[in-house]
């Protein structure tokens, strides 16, 4: 299989969507979203999806493809993207993988370790505990059962904590025992690009994005999802804070500040992940000419 997969990563609000649409138009490519929340049809405003016009102009994959009631893992994503690319590169030379979910990106670029599945009842029990006891209780249990996992995974990510705990509890073995350090072989060329902005510039964009989401009706969107509050898809920044407001835990002003603060912290964790997990060539998102030049220079010559 010939082809080039251009991997575009970066923190939330850095400008991935706009850039990737322009790159897709330039290279006659399609965009594969590796954002683990843009998958869900019911989550529109809080996930900052491309607009209908943008998706009309450039074909996007893995947006609005699932319901919040579905369980969809990074392993599922790896399998589905591999299948898609097997067909895609028979027609086109360049595809763009874009997003900010580090584990989804890594699933495609490196492959995933062979993690065992766990009973759905155990996942439901842990999600209920997360809702009742809070994340800190699950963090402590995981760290006691598997200190290595406690050091290595993102303990602020409820999905990662629940996944690690369910493996520990269902197998009786540490989550970290299943880690495998094998590289994934590709039949196509990977071109890895990271997007970054100065911190104050990024934080200003995040604050303005939160304000815009609230103007667009984020609270009403989250209100409509309250029957599904404990679903894994909704254990994420941008939704948890609004659920707290709707439960009367704080007022709207406090909710707004929480949304901005937690989104900034999430962006910082994203950058830490991408800087530590892989090697990317870093650009400012507005350096479109430099990015195009880099892609052309590094594209596979035998397409």
CATH of the domain at 145: 1.10.20.140
Report the relative pairing of strands 60-61 and 30-33 from DSSP bridges: parallel
End-to-end CA separation in angstroms for the chain: 9
In tens, the pLDDT along 185-206 reads 889 999 999 999 999 999 999 9
In tens, the pLDDT along 120-137 reads 899 889 988 988 898 899
Spatial CA neighbour of 58 closest among 99, 29, 88: 29
Domain span at residue 43 reads: 4-112+182-298
**What three-state secondary structure class fits 132?**
helix
d(CA 150, CA 165): 10
189 shares a domain with 84: yes
Q: Given this model, what pLDDT does residue 277 score?
A: 77
239 shares a domain with 148: no
Do the beta carbons of residue 14 and residue 199 sit within 8 Å?
A: no
pTM for the whole thing? Answer: 0.85
Q: Which residues of the chain have pLDDT under 70?
A: 1, 180-183, 301-303
Distances (CA, A) of 114 to 107, 163, 167, 175, 267: 11, 13, 11, 11, 28
Quick count: other Cβ atoms within 10 Å of Cβ 136? Answer: 10
Boundary of a domain, candidates 141, 163, 178: 178
191 shares a domain with 81: yes
Q: Given this model, what pLDDT does residue 31 score?
A: 98
d(CA 178, CA 197): 36
């Amino acid at each position: 299989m010939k082809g080039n997969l251009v991997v575009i990563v970066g923190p939330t609000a850095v400008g991935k969507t706009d850039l990737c649409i322009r790159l897709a138009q330039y290279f006659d490519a399609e965009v594969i979203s590796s954002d683990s929340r843009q998958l869900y049809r019911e989550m529109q405003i809080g996930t900052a999806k491309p607009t209908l016009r943008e998706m009309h102009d450039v074909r996007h994959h893995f947006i609005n493809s699932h319901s919040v009631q579905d369980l969809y893992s990074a392993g599922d994503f790896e399998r589905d993207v591999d299948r898609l690319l097997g067909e895609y590169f028979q027609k086109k030379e360049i595809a763009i993988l874009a997003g900010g979910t580090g584990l989804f990106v890594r699933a495609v670029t490196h492959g995933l370790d062979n993690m065992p599945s766990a009973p759905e009842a155990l996942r439901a029990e842990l999600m209920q505990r997360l809702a009742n006891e809070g994340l800190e209780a699950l963090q402590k249990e995981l760290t006691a059962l598997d200190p290595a996992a406690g050091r290595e995974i993102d303990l602020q990510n409820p999905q990662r904590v629940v996944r690690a705990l369910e493996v520990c509890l269902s197998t009786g073995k540490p989550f970290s025992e299943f880690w495998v350090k094998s590289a994934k072989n590709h039949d196509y060329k990977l071109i890895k690009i990271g997007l970054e902005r100065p911190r104050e510039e990024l934080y200003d964009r995040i604050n303005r994005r939160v304000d815009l989401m609230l103007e667009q009706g984020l609270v009403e969107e989250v209100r409509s999802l309250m029957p599904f509050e404990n679903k894994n898809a909704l254990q994420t920044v941008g939704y948890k804070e609004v659920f707290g407001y709707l439960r009367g835990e704080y007022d709207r002003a406090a909710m707004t500040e929480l949304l901005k603060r937690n989104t900034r912290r999430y962006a910082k964790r994203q950058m830490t992940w991408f800087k530590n997990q892989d090697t990317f060539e870093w650009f400012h998102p507005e350096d479109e000419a430099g990015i195009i030049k880099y892609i052309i220079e590094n594209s596979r010559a035998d397409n």
